[in-house]
Amino acid sequence: MFRFLSNHASDKEKEKKKDYRNVVIIQIIIIVSGLVLSTTLNYQHPTFADKLIITLFSGFGAFYSFLLWDLLKDFTTNKWLTGIYFVVLLVIVSFGLMGEFPFYKIIEFENRQAYLFALHAGLFPIEVTVIAFAIRDLFSGNTFTPSKLWGAAAVYLMIGISFASLYDLLNIAMPGILGKTFSLGLESYAEFIYYSFNILGGLDTAYPNPVPLLRNLAVIEAVWGNLYAILIIGKLLGLPAKND
């Protein structure tokens, strides 16, 4: 019986490590593509190559959303919670594909601003929930495991991406909160990825005049990111190795 429980716990730990690692890999792809590839796009009159890049970026975003859902299943056995989140993600991805696919649009929304706001508003609570569960997982237990190292990286990057989603959500509601107007969609989201990770990394953002709400949220992100780094380093360094 003890051996069965031990093997089950080991398999669960391996699965969690794999899920954390997959999340980190796709996060890096989203961040790098958001910062580099999007700067070459012509958003007003996209060429075939531009549309292809937008499609790939959107596909990575959709895949990342479902990886978060898969990671959530490692933290809870509540089928209602995971089921509701899966349905929400399916609706978001489906409507996002039908309304924003660059090569053709199945549905034409009259109020694109409200449509994008609804998509982001549905995704943001899922990101926050996964972050909360992941942080609880990282600070639980008394041993250092590889999954915790991957988890620490995943949560840190998740903080930057989720704040970018929040900033973009606010920009959809109040365009121009950075002091400059961007077209809603990939252009604004990529710009807020840049802004969020500049804040998280303590760098200069090149946007000196954001609206007060955005400025204050950026302070919260900076403080929260530094506090998280301090706490997680202290926690991981203080844990004994699993073999010990």
Domain assignment of residue 8, yes or no: no
Look at residue 31 and tell me if it is in a domain: yes
* Distant-in-sequence, close-in-space partners of 145: CB < 8 Å, separation ≥ 6: 13, 17, 242
Query: Is residue 107 one of the residues assigned to a domain?
Result: yes
Q: How far is CA 179 from each of CA 11, 89, 111, 175, 196, rounded to the nearest angstrom?
A: 50, 31, 23, 9, 15
pLDDT tens track, the chain, 244 positions: 444 344 555 778 888 889 999 999 999 998 888 787 667 777 778 888 888 888 888 888 889 999 999 999 989 888 999 999 999 999 998 888 888 878 777 788 888 889 999 998 999 999 999 999 999 988 887 776 778 889 999 999 999 999 999 999 999 999 889 888 888 888 888 889 989 998 988 887 778 788 999 999 999 999 998 898 888 877 777 666 555 5
Please give the tally of structural domains in the chain: 1
- Per-residue model confidence (pLDDT) at position 216: 92
143 closest CA partner among 27, 46, 32, 243:
243
Within a 10 A sphere around the Cβ of 160, how many other Cβ atoms?
21
Angle at the Cα of 219 (from 214 to 220), degrees rounded to 5?
A: 95
| Distance of alpha carbon 32 from alpha carbon 234, whole angstroms | 29
CB 102 within 8 A of CB 74: no
pTM for this entry: 0.88
11 is a domain residue: no
Query: Does some domain include residue 5?
Result: no
Q: Which domain holds residue 128?
A: 18-238
